[in-house]
Amino acid sequence: MSEFLKNLRSNQGYNQKQYDAKYKGQQQNRNKGGGGKQQQQQTADIPPYLKALFDDLAPAIKNYLNQAAESQARVAAAHEKNAQAIEKMMEALPELIQQAPLRREPRKRKISARKQELLDLIKKLRDENMTYEEVAAYLEKNKIPTFSGRGRWHAQTIHRLYMYYP
């Protein structure tokens, strides 16, 4: 480990000596009792242009701080509304879980006779214990076109059709 890191971790070293001397000096000044006059003299030594600058900036700073406080109040109100909404959702969650279907409902669309025949064929093949891949291969082998007439049959497509169009 480098010397710098050792000194830093052990709080010893070159920099610590400088700070120790500085702090000891400040403590000695406080103990002498002469600090009161020095503070009064320091505040009296503020140049007039700095006082004028502060007087000019004070209203703008006050306005900014007021706007920041109002903004924080609006943020706090929004967080409170979010917390209330989450609380309502959590209260309703058990009821929603009980009402939720375990299986997705079949779509209520009109299906053409050709599509219905294909869906019946897929169901029949699945009932014969064929996998989705085997059903897709069977449809491809027998050159049965997809619904769009383009593309190929895939196991995932067969799975979706079987699950959503029982």
- pLDDT exceeds cutoff 60 at 111: yes
From residue 40, alpha-carbon distances to 10, 25, 27, 29, 31 in Å are 40, 20, 19, 15, 17
Lowest mean pLDDT among 2-16, 61-75, 117-131: 2-16
Mean pLDDT of the 99-110 span: 66
What's the pLDDT score for residue 138? 92
Mean pLDDT of the 111-123 span: 86
Per residue, the 3-state secondary structure of 42-95, as one string, reads HHHCCCHHHHHHHHHHHHHHHHHHHHHHHHHHHHHHHHHHHHHHHHHHHHHHHH
What's the pLDDT score for residue 96? 79
> What is the residue whose two structure tokens read 């219905």?
116
Can you give the pTM of this predicted structure?
0.36
Lowest mean pLDDT among 61-70, 133-142, 145-154: 145-154
